Amino acid sequence: MTVRDLFRRTQVRSAVAFTLIITIAVSAIFATLIVRLAAGLEESAHARVLNTRDALLAIDRRYGFDELVSVVTDEAESVRDTDSIFAVVDANGTFVAGNIRTEKPFQGWRVLERSRLPDIAADGTGHDRFFAVWTPVSRGMLLIGRSDREVQQARGILMRSLGWGLLATAIVGVGSGIYLARGAQKRIDDIANTLSAVSSGELDRRVPVKFPHHDLDEVGERINAMLTQLERLVQNANQSSTDIAHDLKRPMTRLRQQLESASEIEGASPAVSEVLEEAIAEVDSIVSTFEALLNIGQLEAGDRRARFVDLDLSTVLGDTIEAYKPVIEDSGFHLAWNGVQQAGPIVRGDHELLVQLMANLIENALQHCPAGTTIELAVGTSQRGPVATVADNGPGIPDGERENVFRRFYRLERERSSPGHGLGLSLVRAIADLHGATVTLAGNNPGLKVLIAFPSRT
């Protein structure tokens, strides 16, 4: 299963959508937390600066400017705290004490980059910033600042936590979606395989049901009920047509025997003999119709599937051509065949029935095309499996009639006066359905092309 096929699954798309929603929600929550925490830590840094300032201002008021300078000098020379900056300038703006010399007094709060403070640029990290403020003292100005490293560290921890959390959410969400999709897809595949088998004639197939209260299993139960009803209706219809054909075939056979006996009576006039021969021909046509109906009924019942074996499709067409080549040439038609001495694709089926399918298509062309028409047979493969083609350059079938001709007893308006019972293509489709193949009628510019596409063996 490719990634594209995987994302066609409803469960996977739902899991991905749910994961995106959770990811967006978690990201929004973490973003809010980061902003709130950063703001809180900045306020804390400001508060620590103000507390330190108040303590130093108290020293200045109580012990004087010189004591303030002494305390600031001690703090600046201390190596235990690289996250604080100090500076004292006198009334003339001359540096007196501290660990930074280049910063001039300014109004209000300001953020100072460590990389722009030469005295301490090598300490800490190059990304540090300081929340700093100048405050007047008795004989000058006092600068106090506090690093935002705690803010950056907290932000980094939250961002890493967010990244790992989103990764875990994506893995769990998508993984859960794939796991759920596999279970649900198995049920969907069971339904699809059952419907495919039923469409191929296996009317007794049913969708397996494991958990009666599961939504897909409830769908399966309803499909099974529908298939049971469908099987009953098809069996009744097939049985009715089969019974009618079987019951009428016997008296028609006896009638033919009586007509033959009558035609053999000596002394019968030529006119009577001619009428009897026409009656026998009509009876033969009726009997062949009954036999076609019986064959279609047997095929739709699927009884012949037990005889399926692996067959070379080129061999099937070759055997059909060997039997019909003299008839084709004697009728003034031309034959083209691409499978001479060439191994063809393997199909699973009944040799006799497939030969009959191809023979019906050839007879259809012989019956409805004028002499001189070319009948072309070919074997090939498509993306879905082996394909057999029977084409001609005759009058063809109009686009709007191509599906109708598969109906029993249906005949084109221009063919109603020609011989035949209108069951040839119905029998072709019944044989194809039994083999899981599809029959497609297409234009041949001019003429008709019949494509029989068999399922792939892989």
pLDDT tens digits, one per residue of 348-360: 888 888 888 888 8
Average pLDDT over residues 194-203: 74
Average pLDDT over residues 264-285: 71
Q: CATH 1.10.287.130: which residues of the chain? A: 215-301
Cα 299 from Cα 286, distance rounded (Å): 20
Of 32-41, 44-53, 139-148, 403-412, the least confident: 403-412
Question: Percent of the chain having pLDDT more than 70?
Answer: 79
Q: State the architecture of 10-152 in CATH terms.
A: 2-Layer Sandwich (3.30)
Cα 224 from Cα 197, distance rounded (Å): 13
Of 93-102, 328-337, 358-367, 397-406, the least confident: 397-406
Q: How confident is the model at residue 132 (pLDDT cuts 50, 70, 90)?
A: very high
Q: How confident is the model at residue 416 (pLDDT cuts 50, 70, 90)?
A: very low
Q: CATH 3.30.565.10: which residues of the chain? A: 305-453
Mean pLDDT of the chain: 79
Q: Which carries the bigger pLDDT value, residue 263 or residue 373?
A: 373
Statement: 215-301 belongs to CATH 1.10.287.130: yes
Question: Percent of the chain having pLDDT more than 90?
Answer: 10
pLDDT tens track for 386-401: 898 999 888 888 877 7
CATH fold for the domain made of 305-453 = Heat Shock Protein 90 (3.30.565)
pLDDT at position 2, please?
57
pLDDT at position 55, please?
92
Q: How confident is the model at residue 205 (pLDDT cuts 50, 70, 90)?
A: confident
- Highest mean pLDDT of the ranges 81-85, 241-245, 264-268: 81-85
Average pLDDT over residues 193-215: 75
Q: Which two tokens stand for residue 274?
A: 């001619």
Of 268-282, 341-355, 438-452, the least confident: 268-282
pLDDT at position 238, please?
62
What predicted TM-score, i.e. pTM, was given to this entire model? 0.46
Q: How confident is the model at residue 80 (pLDDT cuts 50, 70, 90)?
A: low
Is it the case that residue 311 has pLDDT exceeding 90? no
Q: CATH 3.30.450: which residues of the chain? A: 10-152
pLDDT at position 301, please?
58
